[in-house]
Amino acid sequence: MRRPFRQGSLPAVAVLAALLAAGLASPAGASSDDLPSASVLKPSAVASSAHTVRLVTGDRVVVTGSGADRQVSFAPDSDSPTGTASILKHGKDITVVPEEVRPLLDAGVLDPRLFEVGELIEQGYADGRDLPLIVQNSSASGRTPANSRQVRRLPAIKATAAAVDPEQVQRFWAGLRDKQDGATAKRLADGVRKVWLDGKVTPALDKSVPQIGAPTAWAAGYDGSGTKVAILDTGIDATHADLSDRIDEARNFSDSADAVDRHGHGTHVASTIAGSGAASGGKYKGVAPGAKLLIGKVLGDNGSGTESGVLAGMEWAAHSGAKVVSMSLGADAYTDGTDPMSQAVNTLTKDTGTLFVIAAGNTGPDAGTVGTPGAADAALTVAAVDDQDKIASFSSRGPRFGDKALKPDIAAPGVNIVAARAAGTAMGTPAEAGYTSASGTSMATPHVSGAAAILAQEHPDWDADDLKGALMSSARTSGNGGFLEGSGRVDLATAIHAGVWATNASMGTYAQGAVSDPVARTVTFHNTTDKEITLALSGELSLDGGSEVAGALTLGSAGITLPAHGSQGVEVTVDPDLATTGGTYTGTITAAGEGVTAHATVALSRDLPTYEVGLQTLMPDGTAPGSTSLSVYDLRKNAPPVRLPVDAAGVANARLKPGRYTILGHLLKGGTSVSFVLPDVNVTDHDLALTADGRKAARVLTKTPKPTEPVGSTVMVGRQSAEQSIGVMAALSGGPGQQYLLPSAAAQDGRLASTVVESFRSRPISAQAQLPTGHVDLTTQFAAGSGRFEGVRKLTAVDAGFGTAEDLAAHDVTGKLALVRLGSDSPLTALTRVADAGAAAVMLVNSSDGVLTAGMVTKTPMFTVPQSQGDRVLAALARGRVTVRLTGELTPSYSYQTVNSHEGALPGSWTTAPVQSEFADVLTKDYSPAPAGAGELYSQGSWLGQSTVTGDGAGTFGEVNLGTTQHSYLLAADIEWSRTAYLSGYLSAQQYSSAAASYKPGSRSTQEWFKPVLHAGTPGPGTDPSGSAQPYRKGDSMIVTIPKYVTGRSDFYEYGGRNADGDETAFRLYRNGTLLGSAPNAWVAINNLPQEASQYRIETDAKRNNKWWSVSTEQHTAWNFTSAHVDGDAKAPLPLLQADYHLEGVALDSSVTAGKYHPVSVSFRNPDGTRAALTKGTVEVSYDEGTTWKRVPAVTYKGTVTGVLKAPKSSKGISLRVHGENATGSSIDQTVIHTVHVR
């Protein structure tokens, strides 16, 4: 699996610690005089347990939980051709691929990272945020695609950086589809060559500078003077004494306000290149202290940036006079060097002659982990060594992913490097005043950049090839091996005397024990001097960490004569059969003579033999699948899977080393999915021929006690060994009987499990066609989001063809039921056209006998039927008049959710018919915080006691109308259910979650979603088992995580770490009456608070008034409490007094009747859920939106204040203001404007 473009993530605890360290910095036990003035607080790293990702296709993916235990569910876009997706889980990695995009992925026109959901969440591209893209066009003049916003042009790669609003993704994707090819498209429309994710990019001297020979260069008169070095990083601290006179220009390409370094990484890198050492008396002097710096801030204050920002910085740097561009950044994308950033390096190097010196990455010690843009051919890619020239464990290794090219190119010191520390930052480990120590290929890279600057001063006519070649050919080999250190550790003392340089070469990868022909490559030597030079050649090949292999490397000649400023190639031949031991080998070709020495490096790897494993796949009807998702897992090690491409005949082939494997996959075609597992594939010493025969697969069929239509289903198959825990899912929306599982034997060891989760609902529309031959009951599938009605309608049917303008001109659909076939237009386009033409309802005829799932946003009722039924109606219509009787309901009156799970061998039957007594009846009341609108209720079921072998559960969506009730029938035996409700817009910023719960068969219970009074506070007891929304004190740190809204009784809550569109929120923290800091919301971390007990005050504000929300439109809360140092690792809940509300007589539309009495009670709660011992409690009411207030006569009993409200008819809403104090001195003051409507 290709990894995303990032450096690598810290564990959650480490991230939180890092954020805390960057908070309000003051020494432990500081007095109030030592604390800083009010500042902007850092966000808390405590994450939501639920996320919604909008894929580029418009489909939605919901992920709940964390780490390897995350659960995944798929909700197709309304315009999805099949509503089907393949879901792959490997550890914490999650990939979701809708069926329609598989041909585009196979054709290489879509970036696979667009569907790596786990990484989209980690990079912050979820929960209603814009999707950032890089759109490459066929020409440099390509336009920005419709329904996207241009961020910047990227001429070097003929691309545009664009952002797509999640509400516009559906239209954006519709515009990108190639309409000529339809669902099987292998290209994109409108001249778009490829769409990439604009992913996140992150940052990848007293001993190290002498280690590379810089003092020798200084003594020779070279310090980089006259050379410009561009640094693309986190900016610069221009006030640091080491750098204040080194900066020529600074530009900002990040999302931060300016080019000032508030992270520390960029300043550290800059001083390693060109720092004067002034603040240390010259001790920490940089490699090229005479060089001038061009600062391009491409990484923001949080240490990360986007690929498009880096690309823009690269263009600026290469065209601004920089001879060298230093990039201590990148991503651990295991790329073959064809990604956007690598493309830009190659193009800009060729066009400008600028040398790009780039970090290899910090994802070692595994092989093949060099990231982008260091994977570029033209890049001088830098590995890291320690002060003994041993390769650093973290340094990314070669060969390059895909083509096995030789990378990295060179190495430099990168362990415990001391350099300048930017003011106010805490990166690394503080050293002397003004300096900090850090490790990484980020630290190695500036050593090479400084060395390149010195060579550029010495040879102002040299271009990038000369600088790169000279540094590599003069490097000191240290025995680490070519795929670890390239040509060796940079040796500036030798490089300044270099007149000849040579290219390197990769000799390939060969199977151990196989007979291989000798392989030849040409290594070219270049003479940069003004005289002819004759050089003797010698070469050897050695096992890395071992001895020389005699006779394995031969040269085409014993010597060469290089003309002045000329070059000559030398043929290097390696016999892989002489390299019999498995491992990597490095060859060195040395040219020496006339006082000149240069060397070239070649490398090869000798691997275990491989054998052909062929897999024939078939659908249930015996045909080849339309698309597939097949992955091979090595059961012996926890490695990412290898994806198997499948040809048009359904055959997949792979070459595998001897070992034990599992093959997991889906076969997809026309909305039908076959899931299968081959749990134990044993590769020994011969080829294998395997079959996944869908004709033998068992259909998933569940019959519900009451009539229903399917909403969605998810099939999960999981395999677990000692080293691997893997799961694969097929998600299907609608389509009864379209999911299949292939029976399998049990696993030879470890575990094998399978689970099916399904959701059904009462039919929104039932249809009966009155044909001349009799009545026909149609199998309808309602188009989600289209119009609903209550009762019976009899409509005359009309053939509307494919819904084109020509069809509608020929047939009047006004007031009739329009029958529409699938055509070249997308269903969304055709159905919108028919609705606009005045059809009373629309019936879409599928192109197969499966049920097509579609969706619309229209007032016109729409539904789909299978092809055979639709064709029968159309045939009758061609002979005469046809009437169709429609029966509708405004909202589903009931729904069913089922789970069917098996441990061990996959069974041969998945047909079930549970009876009503096996279900729990959960009466779901959906109060409406909006004037009108729909929402969704997502139910996730987990089979109790089952491990993460199948992902621990999955869920499906069910549409609900707010302001209604529904009976949710949950299959109860041995199943645990968690549920999440969404408002229209489907953004996680407006989602409410419940805690997981199990039910008894036949039981009855009630859930009340979005019930007033919606207010700020922490969830009630049992509602937040993870504690993610519970503020606490740990040591001298305070972690504040307060949801913006909880329901009246605090039993459901909205995550508070992000805002919905139109939200206005604020957070303030006071200590002893002095403002310490503020933040955009109450999801913050504060560090280094005084140890002594102090009086604190937290204030939160929230305003929300959008089309999905019209109650609790404004609220203000203040908590007063005492807090002090907490010993050890204990987490002490902050003693925030909470208020829970119960207002009687609230209707489902969140209204109360004017002129009637409505009892109201406010219960004050301690953090542990117990009722507070109140010393004072009051309730005030306003009937004019908070203009005037009056005290509510009330009684207080056991922490609850109870009174009665009576709203006048002139009132539009009821606002409440409460105050509570307990015996420990904690208090709460809360004002909520327009808690309910008055009718």
Evaluate whether 981 touches 964 at the Cβ level (below 8 Å): no
Evaluate whether 137 touches 196 at the Cβ level (below 8 Å): no
Evaluate whether 887 touches 927 at the Cβ level (below 8 Å): no
Residue 956: count other Cβ atoms within 10 Å of its Cβ.
Answer: 28
Distance of alpha carbon 1147 from alpha carbon 876, whole angstroms: 48
CB contact set of 75 (below 8 Å; sequence gap of 6+): 59, 60, 61, 62, 712, 733, 936, 957, 986
Q: Is 381 helix (H, G, I), strand (E, B) or coil?
A: strand
Distance of alpha carbon 576 from alpha carbon 585, whole angstroms: 10
Q: Is 840 helix (H, G, I), strand (E, B) or coil?
A: coil
Evaluate whether 273 touches 322 at the Cβ level (below 8 Å): no
Q: Which helix (H) or strand (E) holds 39?
A: strand 39-40
Burial environment of residue 1223 by CB neighbours within 10 A (0 to 12, 13 to 18, 19 or more): exposed
CB contact set of 1000 (below 8 Å; sequence gap of 6+): 920, 972
**Catalytic residue check, 265:** yes
In single-letter form, the type of residue at position 1025 comes to P
Q: Is 1089 helix (H, G, I), strand (E, B) or coil?
A: coil
R_g (Cα) of the chain, nearest Å: 33
Nearest to 1081 by CA among 1043, 1108, 1119, 1049: 1043
Q: Which helix (H) or strand (E) holds 351?
A: helix 340-352
Q: Which helix (H) or strand (E) holds 1101?
A: strand 1094-1103
**Catalytic residue check, 233:** yes
Q: Determine the Cα angle at 1181 with ends 1180 and 1185, to 5°.
A: 130
Evaluate whether 938 touches 981 at the Cβ level (below 8 Å): yes
The residue annotated as part of the active site, out of 77, 111, 198, 233, is 233
Distance of alpha carbon 128 from alpha carbon 1073, whole angstroms: 37
The string of DSSP codes covering 396-426 is: ---SPTTT------EEEE-SSEEEE--TT--
Q: Determine the Cα angle at 244 with ends 242 and 247, to 5°.
A: 110
The residue annotated as part of the active site, out of 51, 263, 265, 268, is 265
Burial environment of residue 823 by CB neighbours within 10 A (0 to 12, 13 to 18, 19 or more): middle
441-458 and 464-473 are packed helices; what angle lies between their axes, rounded to 10 degrees? Answer: 110
What letter would DSSP give residue 1183?
A: S
Burial environment of residue 92 by CB neighbours within 10 A (0 to 12, 13 to 18, 19 or more): middle
Distance of alpha carbon 995 from alpha carbon 997, whole angstroms: 6
The residue annotated as part of the active site, out of 254, 280, 442, 1110, is 442
In single-letter form, the type of residue at position 1078 comes to S
Q: What's the token pair of residue 145?
A: 């695609």
Evaluate whether 794 touches 774 at the Cβ level (below 8 Å): no
CB contact set of 919 (below 8 Å; sequence gap of 6+): 705, 896, 969, 970, 971, 972, 1001, 1002
For the annotated catalytic residues, the residue numbers are 233, 265, 442
